[in-house]
Structures are given as C-alpha cells and as structure tokens.
Structure 1
Amino acid sequence: MMKRIGYARVSTSGQDTDRQVTDLLAAGVRRDDLYTDQGVSGARASRPAFDRALTALEKGDTLVVTTLDRLGRSTANMLSLAAELRGRAINLKVLNLGGGAVDTATPMGSMTFTVMAALAQMELDIKRERITDSVSKRRAAGKDLGGRRAQFTDSQVMNARRLIDGGQPGTQVARDLGMSRATMYRRMAQIQAREWIGSQTE
C-alpha cells in the first residue's frame, strides 16, 4: 500500500515543529509515518529522522514536506534529492512552494522541478565561469592563487641574505623569492638564531 511519509525539521532547539506537523497531518500523513528533526540544521549531512524517513520510503510512496527548505539549505542538493527519489519511483510533495502545493506525481509538479533544476544548473555554471575568470585574471596579474604556499630552504633564504648584503633592495629580493618581505626577514632571523645557539653549544 502506498504511503505518505512526512518530514518536519527545525534548525534550533528553541523552535518547535507543531505547525509543520499539523500541516503534514492535514495533508494525509499518518502520525506513525511522521519523522521530525529538532535542532538540526539543514546544512548537516546527517539528519537522523530524515535518514529514517528516506529508509522508510518504498516504491510508489510520497515524501511530504511543508516547504522545500526543510530538505536542506542548498538548492542543488534539494534538486539532487528530488532526482534520487524519482529514480526510486518515489514522489515528493511540497505543501507550500510558490504559494501552492507541488507534487512530482503530477505533470505540473514534475515540470516545476525541471524548471528549478535548469535554473540551479545555470546558477552553478555562472559561478564556475566567474571563478575561472577570477583565477585567470589573478594569474595574469601575478597574484597569489591560494592553496599550499611554496616551502623555502634555509639555503635559499641565506642566498637572499647575501643578495641584500650585496646591495640588492630587500623588497625586490623577497618578490623574486616569492615570499613577503616580513616573512623573508623573519626566516633570516630564525636561521641566524639557530646558528648562534649552535655555536654556543659547540
């Protein structure tokens, strides 16, 4: 027999799910088929009651939520979940989406999710394009791209020391070496301190 599995969630322990529960029961969800997460953020990968609700769903069943954001914070993740449910022949019903109920079991509900998926994909493509463009501009300008910074040997740092002693500007030497001027001088001081300590213990 096809069931309606209801899911309710609030992000903080100070909130309650009473309103969501009332709406879900009114939508035909049996209390025994109702799962609630209290004080659990939608951004969390694991939501105990939600995981149990997904496990309880069988082919032909319908997952019912009051609003789409009960499923998570990310539009992409929510649409991915909807696609996963469709793959399992499970419907998703959102009681309040754009002012009305949307059920993927209906042609209109399915179309709504298709449009949302297309918009979410477009948003991801735009973000990816912006990131690629930003990296290209920073690389062209010779700016730091982030990630793991280069590790410099004591020999490289002391070669920089000799260049400075020979009259080269410290700022230029640090730039050529690929580190900040302050970091370069700090490394020089650390090396000299180690050498001095070593000479005192000989």
Structure 2
Amino acid sequence: MTALIGYARVSKADGSQVHDLQRDALAQAGVDANNVYEDAASGKKEDRPGLTACMKALRRGDTLVVWKLDRLGRDLRHLVNLVDDLTQRHIGLKVLAGEGASIDTSTANGRLVFGIFAALAEFERALIIERTKAGLAAARARGRNGGAPFKMTPAKLRLAQAAMGKPETKVADLCAELGITRQTLYRFVDPKGALRTDGERLLMRKAKK
C-alpha cells in the first residue's frame, strides 16, 4: 500500500520558527500527521535525523511531500542527489509551494521536472567520472600509477559520493579506480555516499580557493 510521507524543516531550533505552517500545508495535501518527519536545523547542516528517518521510511510507490523545495536539500548538489535517489527507488515527489510547486509526479509536467533532476544527476556523475579518469590518466603518464597513493581529492570525493549507495557499486573496485584504500574512502563518505566531517572540510577548502 502506497503512502504520502511528509517532511518539514525550520531553520532555527530556538523556537523563533515553528513547523505549524508546514504541518498545516502537509495536512491539507492529505499527509497523515503520523507520517510527517521534522527537523529544526540549518539547511546546510549535514546531520538531519528527521530527513534520514524520512528517507528510510519511504517505500516503492510512496510520494514524498514537502512544503517548499528549499526545505529538502542542503544545496543544489544535495537536492539533485536526493531526487536521483527517489527516482531510482520509484518514489514520487510533490512540492506544495514556491518555485518548485510544478513538481508533482502525479502530473505529466511534474514528471518532466522530476526527470530533469534525474538527468542532472546523471550528467554530474558522468562529468565526475570523466574528470577523474582524465586525472588518473595524467598521473599515470607522469609515472604515478593511480595518482597520489591513498590521497582523497575533491574530484575523487565527488565520484565516491555518486558511486556509493548504488547497489551495483563494488567498494573494492571503486577504491582501485580512485587509487585509495577502503579506510580512506570511509573516512570521507559513509556507505550511502553521504559526506562525513572530513569530506565536508575537503570540499569547503576547495570552494575557498
């Protein structure tokens, strides 16, 4: 039996913002109050237990309902990856307000927008793979087989993010392709591809350069 699963997030945990507006919108959309998961955290914060529980609760054929698109993703990359995960699991998405309100996979237009997100995720993965392979080839041409040993780079990290969590990914093969150890891989990402603290720091250092 399919279900509507809601997710709500406010930006501050000090009580200055409340979930009531989002709860009311989700209820009006038909989401049972027992199927609503919530967080009180910044959109940039990686640790969102409500979202983690929500993603685990979703089953094939269910629909994830959010008030606005910015309640869901930390940033565009995170949002694209989330939508790609939903697509792979045959889970729908419905956005009730804001610019993302055209996303409703029960409609033709909504499925089109949903498909664009999936295409963006595929495009990003292809670019990451291409750049990583080019970098490894350049390293081999300079006499360094596999690049710098045991070193994680932003390009490798993004490839690891895209590959981890996919059922067909073999960790040993991924580590061999990236030229890193399994220990190094799990230092930066978890088994589902989510960034760990060291991964966040690495990408932040890259962004500041």
Using the size of structure 1 for normalisation, the TM-score is: 0.55
Contact 2:61/2:92 (CA < 8 Å) preserved in 1? yes
SS of residue in 1 equivalent to 2:9: strand
Contact 2:94/2:101 (CA < 8 Å) preserved in 1? no
The aligned counterpart of 1:74 is 75
What are the equivalent positions in structure 2 for 1:2-17 lying under 5 Å apart? 2-13=2-13, 14-17=16-19
2:103 is matched by which residue type in structure 1?
V
1:35 paired residue among 32, 37, 42: 37
Deviation of residue 117 (structure 1)?
6.1
The aligned counterpart of 2:88 is 87
Deviation of residue 110 (structure 1)?
2.0
Percentage of matched positions with identical amino acids: 44
Structure 1: unaligned runs, 5 residues or longer: 126-202
Contact 1:66/1:95 (CA < 8 Å) preserved in 2? yes
SS of residue in 2 equivalent to 1:28: coil
2:68 is matched by which residue type in structure 1?
T
| Separation in 2, partners of 1:80, 1:99 | 16
Structure 2: unaligned runs, 5 residues or longer: 128-209
Contact 2:83/2:117 (CA < 8 Å) preserved in 1? no
Q: Structure 1, residues 153-189: CA drift from partner, whole Å, max 9, x if none?
A: xxxxxxxxxxxxxxxxxxxxxxxxxxxxxxxxxxxxx
1:7 is matched by which residue type in structure 2?
Y
Contact 2:43/2:74 (CA < 8 Å) preserved in 1? yes
| Separation in 2, partners of 1:119, 1:81 | 12
| Separation in 1, partners of 2:77, 2:47 | 17
| Separation in 1, partners of 2:101, 2:72 | 17
Pairs aligned (count):
125
The structure with more radius of gyration = 1
Contact 1:76/1:117 (CA < 8 Å) preserved in 2? no
